Amino acid sequence: KNTVVIVGAGSTHTPGIIQSLLQKKEEFPLKKLILFDIDEERMNMVKSIMTQFIEEAYENLEVISTSDYKEAFTDVDFVFAQIRQGGLKMRSCDEKIPLKYGVVGQETCGPGGSISYGIRSIPAVIEIIRQAKKYSPNCWILNYSNPAAVVAEATRREFGNERILNICDMPVAILLSYSKMLGLKDWTELDPEYFGLNHFGWFTALYDKTGKDRLPELRKLILENGMTACSDKHHKDKDWQKTWKQYAEIIKDYPEYLPNSYLQYYLYSSDVVKKMDPSYTRADMVINGREKEMIEEYQKYLANPSEYKSPIQEFTVFGDFIVDAAASIAYNKGYRYLVIVENNGAIPNLPSDVMVEVPAYLRSWGPEAISRKPISTFYKGLIENQAASEKLAVDAYFENSYDKALQAIAINKTIPSTNIAKAILDDFIEANGEYWPRL
Ligand code: G6P
Ligand code: MN
């Protein structure tokens, strides 16, 4: 049985994760569940809304909430880390500053994602992992704190990614949509071939259970009807619908593979900027939309639990994926998932020390990445450019280097000119204040 600590437990993603943990109690039984957050009010709300469901699933499960490292990390088997340093307020700065200069403003892509949020997130994630390893040296850390690509590179340098697995739910969310469009039951019905970086990769084949590649058929479906199934609840609102619509358009121009939807920020930067409102970005939509609605739901439920069946309407792939990944590691099941690992030859013509997103079998001793043939020039060029930007952001953090931070921004494909890179960097330094080291 497993003791799990959810770090960043006050997040509106947490109820979905707990729900998955409860639903999968046979595959991944719990001994104890620990909730950790610096925002105790949010965390305790999440705890209260989940109490009844936990009691229905487990007779006597010990559940604690804490903001103390020792209490959180002593004798744990798995750490699920999903922190957002600076909260949605800082997400808003990451998005708005680049947009001021006509550059993509996005949570994980372009300069706001890789550099502003990256440099802010690194020390926070490192601290969590350090504390976890101090109190439970053998625990596994499943980290999906963003920007995952930059965070994964930083944890590689700091810890060699020993018992750390960096993951992202986006490939799974996309796969779920694909599987629905193909009339399949679930994302686990498709075995993908995929290469790239986090939020920067391509599906090259999608095998169903009979071994047939369904990618060509799916591409036709998307071209004819668009992305008709947007599967999981976190990617369903109007703004994400826009993303899926644009996604269908990329496929026309790049017919070879199926890209991760985030590639639109790099391949159509200026078109995307035209569609963004620099004074009302995704952070505002999340604050005034999903966050507000979910908190209202929680409060309604807490006021009258007997009338509400569940404050969580649907299961999320986010929760299911992390629990399945943990089960695969805990019980050496060898599930094949897309995860972020050190390249080491998985993509033979990329450097070995780049953190890539590829299929891997999850074993109790760690992920075993699948190696495939070299990638062609277009993809190699794009990936090397993006990886350089991410590595430079991590250099900037570890070396406290203004010059490296400037290079990280200037080299990014979303940036038209170095003057703009410099102006954006200077604004980031001011906006991030104490969150950033002094460069
Ligand atoms: C996907 C990505 C996450 C990202 C999220 C943002 O799930 O994989 O990395 O955090 O989308 O969604 P939001 O609705 O908050 O913009
Ligand atoms: Mn992600």
pTM value surpassing 0.95: yes
Whether 376 shows a pLDDT value over 90: the answer reads: yes
The pLDDT of residue 234: 78
The pLDDT of residue 75: 98
**Annotated catalytic residue within 178, 194, 247, 262:** 262
Tens of pLDDT, residues 317-339: 889 999 999 999 999 999 999 99
Angle, vertex CA 255, rays to CA 249 and CA 258, nearest 5: 75
d(CA 167, CA 177): 19
Q: Where are the alpha helices (DSSP H) in 160-310?
A: 170-181, 215-225, 238-253, 264-267, 269-275, 282-286, 292-303
The pLDDT score that the predictor gives to residue 237 is: 85
Ligand 2: distance of its center to the CA of 146 in Å?
7
Q: Is the CB of 153 under 6 A from ligand 1?
A: no
The residue contributing the CA closest to ligand 1 atom 7 is 170
- Residue 422, pLDDT score: 98
pLDDT band at 297 (very low <50, low <70, confident <90, very high): confident
Nearest-CA residue for ligand 1 atom 1 is 170
Q: pLDDT tens, 75-113?
A: 999 999 999 999 999 999 999 999 999 999 999 999 999
Ligand 1 pocket, mutate which of 91, 109, 144, 170 (most atoms under 8 A from CB): 170
Q: Which residue in the block uniquely carries the two structure tokens 């649907």?
A: 314
Which pLDDT value is given to residue 314?
Answer: 61
How far does the centroid of ligand 2 lie from the alpha carbon of residue 148, in Å?
A: 6
Q: Identify the pLDDT of residue 308.
A: 73
Pocket lining: 167 vs ligand 1, CB cutoff 6 Å? no
CA of 107 to the centre of ligand 2 (A): 10
Number of H-type helices and E-type strands within the chain: 18, 12
Give per-residue pLDDT as tens, 141-196: 999 999 999 999 999 999 999 999 999 999 999 999 999 999 999 999 999 999 99
Among residues 37, 77, 94, 169, which one is catalytic? 169
In the residue annotation, 262 being an active-site residue is answered as yes
- In the predicted structure, residue 313 carries a pLDDT above the cut 60: no
Rounded Cα–Cα distance for residues 432 and 397 (Å): 13
Ligand 1 mutation target, pool 11, 83, 89, 108, most atoms within 8 A of CB: 108
Q: Compute the average pLDDT of residues 220-224.
A: 94
Give the tens place of pLDDT for each residue, 350-373: 999 999 999 999 999 999 999 999
Q: How many CB atoms lie within 10 A of CB 212?
A: 11
What local confidence, expressed as pLDDT, does residue 311 receive?
62
**Average of per-residue pLDDT across 56-61:** 94
Q: Which ligand is closest in space to the CA of residue 284?
A: 1
Average pLDDT, the chain: 95
Any atom of ligand 1 within 6 Å of the Cβ of 146 = yes
Distance 389 CA to ligand 1 centre (A): 21
Whether 214 lines ligand 1, by a CB cut-off of 6 Å, is: no
Q: Is residue 168 within 8 Å of residue 144, measured between CB atoms? A: yes
Task: Give me the pLDDT at residue 7, please.
Answer: 98
Judge whether residue 116 has pLDDT over 60: yes
Predicted local confidence at residue 322, as pLDDT: 97
Cis peptide, bond prior to residue 437, ω within 30 of zero: no
Separation of 12 CA from ligand 2 center, angstroms? Answer: 16
pLDDT above 70 covers a percentage of the chain that reads: 98
Question: Tell me, what's the ipTM?
Answer: 0.98
> Contact, 12 vs 291, CB < 8 A?
yes
Measure CA of the first residue to CA of the last residue in the chain; give whole Å. 45
What contacts 384, CB < 8 A, 6 or more positions away?
Answer: 350
Looking at ligand 1, which atom is closest to the CA of residue 237? Answer: 14
* Tens-digit pLDDT profile for residues 274-295: 999 999 999 999 999 989 988 8
Q: Is residue 77 annotated as part of the catalytic site, yes or no?
A: no
pLDDT tens digits for range 246-256: 888 889 999 99
Kindly tell me if the per-residue pLDDT of 315 is higher than 70: no
Decide which of 133 and 246 is more confident.
Answer: 133
